[in-house]
Amino acid sequence: MNTKKRIATIAAALTIATTSLVSFGISEAMAIDQVTCGTRTDWFKVTPAVSLPLCFANNGSLNITVNNLWTVHSGNNSGYYYANGLKVNFLAGTVDIYGSSKPTLNSITITGR
């Protein structure tokens, strides 16, 4: 394959790959956003034992590591999360209190309300 044809082929492949990544990246249905907790009670909120709470909104999945998990508040969300590799399902309005066991949060999936 001559050099010009090869460069054109590579450029076309990169354009297709980039377009696919951008389309995937902006899909709101797949994006959990970290938000400022404030006084809101409808966010999905995790509170580590030794730091401030972290809050999340919108449906989707997120791989995250939060050590020394103290509590998980579902807010008005349903879905599941993994703590120490174990799946924990949650419904809107639930609170999980871990106290002294303090597992590590591995991921969050919010599926709806």
113 residues of the chain, pLDDT tens digit each: 565 555 445 545 444 433 333 332 333 446 899 999 999 999 999 999 999 999 999 999 999 999 999 999 999 999 999 999 999 999 999 999 998 899 999 999 999 87
Please tell me what DSSP assigns to residue 85. Answer: T
Counted domains in the chain: 2
Radius of gyration of the chain (CA): 20
pLDDT the model gives residue 108: 97
Q: Are 66 and 20 in the same domain?
A: no
3-state SS, 27-82, equals: CHHHCCEEECCCCCCCCEEEEECCCCCEEEECCEEEEEEECCEEEEECCCCEEEEE
If asked whether residues 9 and 51 sit together in one domain, one would say no
Same domain, 36 and 23: no
Spatial contact of 26 and 56, defined as CB atoms under 8 Å apart: no
**For the segment 44-54, what is each residue's pLDDT rounded down to a tens digit?**
999 999 999 99
Is 4 in contact with 17 (CB distance < 8 Å)? no
24 and 37 assigned to the same domain: no
